[in-house]
Amino acid sequence: MKLPIYKVLALGLATLASLSLQARSATSQPVPLSGSARPVIEEFLLRQAVGLPGKVGITIYTPISGALPACESPEPFLPGGARLWGRVSVGVRCHSDQPWTRFVPVYIAVRSVYYVAARPILAGQALTLTDATAREGDLTTLPRSVIVDPAQFNGATALNQIASGAPLRRELLRDTVAVQRGQTIRVRTQGTGFVVSAEGKAMTSAAVGALIQVKMQGGTLISGIVGPDGMVERTH
């Protein structure tokens, strides 16, 4: 059966539109940067990323304006306020006879262990190590407050209900106070071959793992770390 001419034209226009959208989608995909500037940028970013909490992965893309012009000594730099976290724009300068400056899109991934709720957690519940499960992922895709250290949740109290599998975040928890200000507590001092304990008065309230000052019976102020049993381990 032969189609009317208007249907043939409509079908042709629809096909062309579909092909145009596919081509546009394909060309909009980021293209990894090539050329001699790429290793220079990567080395610069790796130096800057020292100290990030995990394994750093760097992907450098070609700018929308196209490949970088040739340059004997490209100079990467971070624009003011730029942070090496997730998507960031890195500047590149070239001090040649025809100097130029370009901005290169970069993705900084930081893979590390973080913690999620192992089961539903009720508001007001004190957490233990068994209440969380370790997972590994890209921290740049998670809230900045996600917990990466078990000490940050062990003994803390949930402020709200937390669903099973949800990332534990610092703002969802409150440190449980183990020592109250003015409370009489014992301070333990350990040395080579000896352990001594004595009583003192807590100068502030503190949670487990926190640094606290204690006024000893003789009036001396010492500092120590609050233990799970409420005893303070003197620091030297």
* Average of per-residue pLDDT across 137-157: 91
pLDDT of residue 15: 45
Q: Any long-range contacts for 191-195 (C-beta under 8 Å, 24+ apart)?
A: none
Instruction: Give the confidence band of 25 by pLDDT, cuts at 50, 70, 90.
Output: very low
pLDDT of residue 45: 95
Please name the CATH architecture into which domain 177-234 falls. Roll (2.30)
Q: What is the mean pLDDT of the chain?
A: 85
> In terms of pLDDT, which residue wins out, 96 or 59?
59
Range in 29-38, 46-55, 150-159, 192-201 the model is least confident about: 192-201
Q: Is the pLDDT of residue 129 over 90?
A: yes
The residue ranges of every structural domain in the chain are 37-110, 111-174, 177-234
| Burial of 158: CB neighbours in 10 Å, binned 0-12, 13-18, 19+ | buried
pLDDT of residue 123: 93
Instruction: Decide if 111-174 and 177-234 have a common fold.
Output: no
Q: Is the pLDDT of residue 104 over 60?
A: yes
Q: Which fold has domain 111-174?
A: Type Iii Antifreeze Protein Isoform Hplc 12 (3.90.1210)
Q: Is the pLDDT of residue 3 over 80?
A: no
Instruction: Give the confidence band of 60 by pLDDT, cuts at 50, 70, 90.
Output: very high
CA torsion sign for 210, 216, 222, 224 is negative
**From CA 73, how far away is CA 92, in angstroms rounded?**
10
- Whole-prediction pTM: 0.62
Q: Is the pLDDT of residue 154 over 50?
A: yes
pLDDT of residue 196: 86
Cβ atoms of 142 and 135 closer than 8 Å? no
Q: Is the pLDDT of residue 1 over 70?
A: no
